[in-house]
Amino acid sequence: MSQKKNSFESLGRLSKDLGTRFIPLGIAAALLIVSVVLQILAPTYLQQFTDEIANNYLTHSIDMNALLKIGITLVVFYVSVALCAYLANYILTTVTQRYAEKLRNDIAKKINRVPLAYFDSHSHGDLLSTLTNDVDQIGQSLQQSVSMVIQSIFLLIGTLIAMFITSWQMALAAMSSLPFMVIFILIVLKVAMPRFKRRQDALAMVNSVVEEVYSGHLVIKCFNAKKKTNEHFNQENENLNKAMYQAQCLGGLFQPLMNFISYFAYAAVFLVGGLLMNANAGITFGTITAFMVYVSLFQSPLSQIAQAMNVLQMAAASANRVFDFLNQKELESEEGKEEKFPLVNGKKEVRGEVIFDHVSFSYDDTREIIHDFSAKIKPGMKVAIVGPTGAGKTTMVNLLMRFYEVNSGSILIDGISTKEMSREEVHSIFGMVLQDTWLFAGSVKENLVYNTENVSDEAIQKALKEASLSHYIKTLPGGLQYQIEDTSSIAGGQKQLMTIVRAALKNAPLLILDEATSNVDTRTEETIQEAMDKLMKGRTSFVIAHRLSTIRNADMILVMKDGNIVEQGTHDSLMEKNGFYASLYNSQFALE
């Protein structure tokens, strides 16, 4: 689909969405119509004012009372025009900003409904730019352009009618510039539209670079990559500079072109008006004066429409990106799925048997990651998944949690396929401790009981004690109420232990530990390992580990290579086979 077609479709969708707010828009339109009618009637009084002076100034018989009445009438008219325009703009601004608020809410809801595969192919900075810059651009552009377009259309139609009623000859002279205006508008629009789209894309790229640099600034400093990072940012910033320069320059051509052409319209009206006065065709100085106002009113909406088109191009470019995200394929609806394990009501207990039945999976069509994978895990078993990088270990966990859907085969928990369960229910029966710790701004207690209800202080203290974290929490100012504002102030080992406590407080029957000890020192690893061993008691646990020495006591070890399980068994049995697992273990032992 072409970019031009996309832009028109986006503008059409914006118009349709705004059209649902017809009551406030109708009130605003009525106020603008009143404003336009008063603006069109005002020149007739100005014509009377001018004729009274022009016809009687030589005889010094000017009716000052009549001039005063006309002057007061004009003041009332123009004050009313300003008041109606203000109220209409206030209503339209409220409508457009509430629409921008709706877009933000829609994006926030959409984020939770799109598959994880979307985030694998889009940077965080790009999505943040859509949520902030693009929505802001839509709100500001609509705020500027909607009232401008509505008022300009009414004013243009009303002015044309008034001009032809006053003098059709002078009206035709004023309209002689119209074809040139339309041609210039179409040319500039065609050239400028792609530049505005390019500008928003470049802005998103700059935001993406900034987000990546901010999140990885420690690595950048450690590797002395400041110069290279600055060069990358400067390159993207220069691209934004060029795109913005071109877009603004082309967009800025509208107003000067309109002003340039309007001068010809004034000249044509003066020429025709002078000829008609010379021919005694009933044209007076007051008529020409009034007509100058009409020409100004006629030129003004054309200029405003051109300016509004310039602003709408910015809105269209941003709307393309926003609607592109909102149109992304969502996760399949799970309405009607009944709870298979209603843990909350205690109606059924999860035993923890997990079966992988001929599971195959690929992230895309290029290559298959998991090939016909089968395994049976009994309740309460500790299962270790090992293998080289890229073997498919984390992918297996993602499939187990239904972060991704299997291409073929099925995963069963206590004999029930996860496809028959809602994702929320699958997530509720799993506890998870990941390699990358996640803490948010808030108190320690809020981080520990995250999304887990009715957790007593006794349960928290017990979990802290089992994780060997009680003493550390007591050393913090305020203890559990200590406010975490900068997570860098907490050591990595303590962060990991806090995530283990979080999983323990959730008290889920199944547990996933994904490289939970890979980022800590040996002594901290022992502490974390002890905490995890306590956490895994009585639970079916899946442990992904590169340090094979940490999983020697596993009930089952699944050895993966290129998406296949090449070996499975206990540590001793696999070492006796002297196969792939033995070579991995021995090579790691030799390195240690």
Same domain, 409 and 454: yes
Tell me: do 88 and 210 sit in the same domain: yes
Question: Do residues 352 and 414 lie in contact, with contact meaning Cβ atoms separated by under 8 Å?
Answer: yes
Q: How many domains does the chain have?
A: 2
Same domain, 569 and 495: yes
Give the CB-side neighbour count of residue 462, counting CA atoms within 13 A: 10
Q: Give the contacts of 266 (CB within 8 A, at least 6 positions apart).
A: 292, 295
Instruction: Tell me phi and psi for residue 543, to 5 degrees.
Output: -120, 120
- pLDDT over threshold 80, residue 82: yes
Q: Which amino acid is at 533?
A: D
**Which of helix, strand or coil describes residue 373?**
strand
In a domain, 437, yes or no: yes
What is the C-alpha to C-alpha distance for residues 427 and 163, in angstroms, rounded to an integer? Answer: 71
In a domain, 126, yes or no: yes
- Among 326, 342, 363, where does a domain finish? 326
- Kindly state whether residues 10 and 61 are assigned to the same domain: yes
Q: Are 584 and 388 in contact (CB under 8 A)?
A: yes
How many degrees, rounded to 5, is the angle at CA 308 between CA 305 and CA 310? 115
Residue 334, number of CB atoms within 10 A of its CB: 13
Mean pLDDT for all residues in the chain: 80
Question: Could you tell me whether strands 483-484 and 442-443 are parallel, antiparallel, or unpaired per DSSP bridges?
Answer: antiparallel
User: For the residues of 389-410, what is the DSSP string, one character each?
Assistant: TTSSHHHHHHHHTTSS--SEEE
DSSP letter, residue 14 = H
Whether the predicted pLDDT of 589 surpasses 70: no
567: Cβ contacts below 8 Å, ≥ 6 apart: 557, 559, 574, 577, 579, 580, 581
- Whether residues 510 and 367 fall in one domain: yes
Choice between 124 and 323, residue whose per-residue pLDDT is larger: 323
Q: What is the pLDDT of residues 316-360, one digit of tens each?
A: 878 888 888 888 888 887 776 767 666 544 445 788 889 989 888
- For residues 198 and 241, the answer to whether their CB atoms sit within 8 Å is no
Domain-embedded: residue 331: no
Confidence label for 83 from pLDDT (cuts 50, 70 and 90): very high
Phi/psi-derived region of residue 585, left when phi > 0, alpha when psi is between -120 and 50, beta in every other case: alpha
Top pLDDT among 113 and 296 is at 113
Q: What is the pLDDT of residue 421?
A: 85
- Confirm whether 585 is domain-assigned: yes
Alpha-carbon torsion angle 379, 384, 385, 388, nearest 10: 180
Instruction: Verify that 111 and 165 share a domain, yes or no.
Output: yes
pLDDT at 362: 83
Over 60: is that where the pLDDT of 365 sits? yes
Mark whether 279 and 372 lie in a shared domain: no
Report the range of poorest mean pLDDT among 53-57, 109-113, 427-431, 526-530: 53-57
What pLDDT sits at residue 1?
46
Provide the 3-class DSSP secondary structure of residue 564.
Answer: strand
Residue 19: burial class (beta carbons within 10 Å; 0-12, 13-18, 19+): exposed
**Mean pLDDT, residues 219-242:** 85
Count of helices and strands (H, E) across the chain = 21, 12
Task: Give the C-alpha separation, 310 to 181, whole Å.
Answer: 14
Flag the least confident range among 178-182, 244-248, 322-326, 464-468. Answer: 178-182
User: Would residue 424 count as lying in a domain?
Assistant: yes
User: Two tokens at 61?
Assistant: 């018989």
Mean of the pLDDT values across residues 500-511? 85
Q: How confident is the model at residue 133 (pLDDT cuts 50, 70, 90)?
A: confident
- Final residue of a domain: which of 326, 345, 368? 326
pLDDT (tens digit, 9 = 90+) per residue, 25-61?
888 888 888 888 888 777 777 777 777 677 666 666 6
CA angle 507, 510, 516 (to 5 degrees): 90
Q: Which of residues 169 and 345 earns the better pLDDT score? A: 169
Are 73 and 315 in contact by the 8 Å Cβ rule? The answer is no
* Residue 332 resides in a domain: no
The enclosing domain of 184 has a CATH number of 1.20.1560.10
Q: Which of 133-147, 156-170, 236-250, 272-286 has the lowest mean pLDDT?
A: 272-286
The answer to whether residues 241 and 175 belong to one domain is: yes
> What is the pLDDT at residue 592?
47
Q: HEC profile for 483-512?
A: EECCHHHCCHHHHHHHHHHHHHHHCCCEEE
- Average pLDDT of the segment spanning 386-407: 83
Q: Give the range of the structural domain holding residue 521, as residue numbers without chain letter.
A: 354-591
Task: Give dist(CA 47, CA 293) in Å, integer.
Answer: 10
pLDDT value of residue 347: 43
Same domain for 248 and 363, yes or no, is no
Can you read off the two tokens belonging to residue 97? Answer: 């900003």
> What local confidence, expressed as pLDDT, does residue 345 receive?
42
Residues in a beta bridge with 416: 413
Q: Which residue has the higher pLDDT, 440 or 488?
A: 440
| Residue whose entry in the numeric block shows the structure tokens 């809602």 | 422
Task: Looking at the structure, tell me whether residues 278 and 216 fall in a common domain.
Answer: yes
Q: How far is CA 349 from the centre of its chain?
A: 40
Q: Are residues 278 and 150 in the same domain?
A: yes
Q: Which of 326, 345, 379 is the last residue of a domain?
A: 326
- Tell whether 486 is covered by a domain: yes
Radius of gyration of the chain (CA): 36
Residue 364 falls in which region: left (phi positive, over 0), alpha (psi -120 to 50) or beta: beta
Q: What is the pLDDT of residues 514-546, one digit of tens each?
A: 876 655 566 666 777 777 777 788 788 888 877
- As a whole number, mean pLDDT of residues 122-147 equals 80
The CATH code of the domain that includes 523 is: 3.40.50.300
Verify that 290 and 358 share a domain, yes or no.
Answer: no
Give the span between the Cα atoms of 220 and 229, in whole angstroms: 8
Assigned domain for 337 exists: no
Instruction: Supply the DSSP string of 30-89, one letter for each residue.
Output: HHHHHHHHHHHHHHHHHHHHHHHHHHHTTTT---HHHHHHHHHHHHHHHHHHHHHHHHHH
